[in-house]
Structure 1
Amino acid sequence: MKTFKYLLLITVLILAWTAFVGYGTFSGSLLRPITKGSSSASFIEATKERIENEFVGNMAMVLIENGAVSKDFFYSIDKAVNKHTVFQMASVSKWITSWGIFALVEEGKIKIDEPIDNYLTRWHLPESNFNNQEVTVRNLLSHTSGLVDGLGYGGFVDKDSVQSIEESLTKASDGFWSEGVAKVGNSPNSQYRYSGAGYTILQLIIEEVSGQLFEEYMAEAVFKPLKMAHSTFNWSDSLGSDLVTFYDSDSTIAPHYRYTALAAASLYTCTEDLSLFLKANFAHNSVLRPETIATMNKIHTAANQNTHGLGPMIFGRNDSGDFIVGHDGGNRPAINTAARINLKSKDGIIILETGNPGFATKLGDEWIFWKTGIADYVVIQRSKPFLLSLLVIGYLIIFFSSIIIIRVRNKKGLRGMN
């Protein structure tokens, strides 16, 4: 009977310790940020240590504190990088594209809850088992349209091979990770499913409604008013800007890929311009009204799904009122970008890099944890050795303490019998 009680006690203690470590992991209370310092300089020093252990071809990073740039950091293994060096942004492009859509909404030319077919003449969704008329602009912005394209665009080395928008939506020849067809395969509004084609459709809608090429409209409606002088959706060698050297993860120089899906994957910008864009999310600007931006930055997906606004991703919030929005991007060969802003504190980070397919995203997640204590998969994975050690040490203490207690009690029992 005593043995059973001891075993039960040990089991309860082990379960309690496991629950404690589990709670501390997911709440972030047992995790530690990559730097003990509280300054931007300390975060940059921690970043430099990371670069020493991982290959990064080039990188531009900006830290924003209380609405102003506090520190920047530039790195390259070859050609120097600075705040005007232009990077290809991959899916961060989607966030900027959403501003173009809402500029048309504010002009009364688009209603986000109307069927997208109301704005399309050059291409239409193919017939499906679902009601295509239920797909709205809001759905495309928040990835809740039911589209199952799985794009992910690979791009084209030869710019003469770039498809038209209509051709790409019908069958994207650079859709290497999927069938590449823009079609509805789930009931609209039923679930979150990330869709590159959804933003290519938005690109087409902007052209149809504005009567301009997408890149021309975005330059006039967004870049010029925000003074983003080094930004474009249509790269040309004659632009006079300094395009970064593209690196692959094996440290070789990689080709520059061109895209049909400009809105989804091919904004070109620099840290100076992107800093202006981040600030526009909490400061007065001449593109969108504050109430429009507030609507875009609300969660528009179900609570049990990936959280997404009407353009930006929602990276996290906590009980202190911190609310992180932004977007990440990744394209071949090894482009990775991240832009995040805390709407409460007006702190932000921008990381643009090539040569490493995940460095910017991981660093962005580390920044969120450092600033707010909001921990996600990246921080937990990085802390796994420490957490496992903590679990094992706790189990060993419970086990050996229990043995000592049992022996002491058994000795007392024997003495009592004598």
Structure 2
Amino acid sequence: MKQIIFLYFTVFTTFSVTSQNITNDIDGLFSMRENLNGPGGVVLVTQNNKTVFEKAYGLENISYKIPNTSESVFNIGSMSKQFTAMGIVLLQMEGKLSIDDDIKKYLPELNNFGKPITIRHLLHHTSGFRSSPELFGLAGWRDGDAISNEDFYRYLTKQTALNFEPGSEYMYTNSGYILLAKIIENVSKQNFKSWMKEKIFQPLQMNATFIEENSSNVVSKVATSYSEIEPSVFNYVENNDLTYGASNVYSTSKDVLKWMKNFNEASMNWKSAFEMLKTVDVLNSGQKNNYGFGVFVDDFFGNHRIQHTGAIAGFRSVMYSYPDDNLEIIILSNFASNQLSKTADQISQLFLQSKLLSETYPEEIKPITLNNEVLKKYEGMYWSDKNNYSRKIYVENNTLWYLRSNNKKSPLIPITSTEFQMGGINEKLLVKFDIKTNTMKLISADNSIDVFEKYVDKPLLVEDLKEYTGTFYSSELETYYTISLKDDKLIGYHSRFGEFDIQILKQDVLSWSGMAVSKYKRNKKGSITGLTITMSRIRDLWFEKKQ
């Protein structure tokens, strides 16, 4: 069997013949979304040090009918991380710290996690720290509650466990960059906001760029952020995330361009520093991690790229730098619904050629035939403890099938008596069974492995559900959750959220309305002692059973 994988874009066009064509092509990407009475943004594209497209769309402020302009200032969200990373790089170049220092040297209040966490781990998102927005949400903070760096650090000092061993995985998290800001303050003995202005923004002549952690301050030319609650009806989105280091840099498209130009033509004073930002390392396993110091270092259909996006409140932003082609693409928006990365990809195609083949032919699969007796040995339910989902394996019409929770299924094509190639998908995925250990492994083309354990899917009685009730407390978050039975159904409760539904995934594993997964822990006598909570960017946070 040969499987053909078609790339998302099969045809790349080169730089259009005339600048007018380029202008029309880029403008056409935005014309469908342009609303003269709604929010919009600013688009800036340069190549070979020449502006090939610059245009502002929509309103900077709807109430006062102020249009966006090239001078409009936007919160660039997570694009802020590269500036914090630059702050660390400058301190290393001055000999005031090393990126391989243990962070406890500068943040002694943090707990000992068994293995050192370095500044390098924070820069690459490989520290294992749980993510700040999710921690606050699980602790009971609601949308609209203001969160400061002091609030964040108070929670981080109470953490006693990590998501994973430092350096073993990549997991994007704001926590690391908020900690980097605190390290900069502790080392420089200065306020982060003023130090960044003095050391980075002013020397690079980014005069319209600043850090603002107080959203109630009135600043000239700063766009108001919005979301669309129904067609052509917009709602002001207040920014209550007051943390800095990971976000809350405000800038203009022209200032962002001044910064981006340094990735391919930095002055002698800045060349080494910008080269360091592009540092990529490997994980403990040797697997590549393409997140450098505050930026992604990757490629777009074979074209070398440095990029990042941002999202906070109703602001959205994206920056793509193609150093080999001297091409920069910047889009800043005050509209939460904009799909800026997709648009930036489309703009990229107007200037670049694909350096990849349009078709990839994987190694030919040579299936074998297995009888139903062999196939039926693999039937059953399998659970991925890492990713918290189950899969059903069953035989039908002399074929072994892989059934997902959304009822979509794929045939498993036998290669050996224990190994199968998954069919019907545009990627190479090997499924390997081990009857002795009752496990199933999914092995991807990059050799990453997801292990599933076979389990008995038995229905739970009301008496079983009663075991799951009680009050559970987290000392790391200083918060309680209560689980009770109502009409023979489990209901969760938090003092700030109220009640929420709970669904059974399997024995001792429950879903909290699809937002989090709880896993009960038992002692040697089989009694429940507590539970762990796993959700986006948080793994196995412990809650002890109190009653």
Q: Distance in 2 between matches of 1:139 and 1:301?
A: 11
Deviation at 1:292, TM superposition (A): 3.1
Q: Give the equivalent residue in structure 1 for 2:327.
A: 347
Deviation at 1:357, TM superposition (A): 3.8
Q: Give the equivalent residue in structure 2 for 1:401.
A: none
Residue of structure 2 aligned with 1:90, choices 58, 64, 77? 77
Once structures 1 and 2 are overlaid, which stretch shifts more, 31-40 or 336-345? 31-40
Q: Distance in 2 between matches of 1:209 and 1:157?
A: 33
Q: Give the equivalent residue in structure 1 for 2:534.
A: none
> Aligned pair 1:243/2:239, yes or no?
no
Once structures 1 and 2 are overlaid, which stretch shifts more, 98-107 or 216-225? 98-107
Change (3 A) 1:304 1:343: same
Change (3 A) 1:52 1:257: closer
Deviation at 1:247, TM superposition (A): 0.8
The alignment partner of 1:274 has SS state of: helix
Change (3 A) 1:31 1:52: farther
The alignment partner of 1:262 has SS state of: coil
Q: Give the equivalent residue in structure 2 for 1:222.
A: 200
Q: Give the equivalent residue in structure 1 for 2:536.
A: none
Residue of structure 2 aligned with 1:167, choices 137, 145, 151? 151
Deviation at 1:51, TM superposition (A): 1.8
Change (3 A) 1:68 1:57: same
Higher strand share: 2
Q: Distance in 2 between matches of 1:292 and 1:156?
A: 39
> Aligned pair 1:266/2:248, yes or no?
yes
The alignment partner of 1:147 has SS state of: coil
Q: Give the equivalent residue in structure 2 for 1:309.
A: 292
Once structures 1 and 2 are overlaid, which stretch shifts more, 57-66 or 146-155? 146-155
Normalised by the length of structure 2, the TM-score is: 0.55
Q: Distance in 2 between matches of 1:119 and 1:255?
A: 36
Q: Distance in 1 between matches of 2:354 and 2:180?
A: 32
Structure 1 residues 125-158: Cα deviation after superposition (integer angstroms, max 9, x where no partner): x344x41x2x111111111112232646899998
Higher helix share: 1
Q: Distance in 2 between matches of 1:204 and 1:181?
A: 17
Q: Give the equivalent residue in structure 1 for 2:95.
A: 108
Contact 1:247 1:354 in 2 (8 A): yes
Letter in 1 for 2:98: K
Q: Distance in 2 between matches of 1:375 and 1:50?
A: 30
Normalised by the length of structure 1, the TM-score is: 0.71
Q: Distance in 1 between matches of 2:166 and 2:201?
A: 32
Change (3 A) 1:38 1:264: farther
- 1:18-97 equivalent positions in 2, closer than 5 A: 19=4, 22=5, 24-25=6-7, 28=9, 30-31=10-11, 39=19, 40-52=22-34, 57-77=39-59, 78-97=65-84
Q: Give the equivalent residue in structure 1 for 2:339.
A: 359
Aligned residues: 338
Letter in 1 for 2:297: I
Once structures 1 and 2 are overlaid, which stretch shifts more, 238-247 or 148-157? 148-157
Q: Give the equivalent residue in structure 2 for 1:144.
A: 126
Q: Distance in 1 between matches of 2:277 and 2:57?
A: 33
Residue of structure 2 aligned with 1:208, choices 174, 177, 186? 186
Letter in 2 for 1:313: F
Letter in 2 for 1:284: A
Q: Distance in 2 between matches of 1:261 and 1:224?
A: 22
Q: Distance in 1 between matches of 2:191 and 2:355?
A: 41
Q: Give the equivalent residue in structure 2 for 1:175.
A: none
Q: Distance in 2 between matches of 1:258 and 1:81?
A: 23
Q: Distance in 2 between matches of 1:120 and 1:292?
A: 24
Q: Give the equivalent residue in structure 1 for 2:352.
A: 372
Query: What is the Cα-based RMSD across aligned positions, in Å?
Result: 3.5
Q: Distance in 1 between matches of 2:25 and 2:154?
A: 45
Q: Distance in 1 between matches of 2:103 and 2:154?
A: 16
Q: Distance in 2 between matches of 1:207 and 1:283?
A: 30
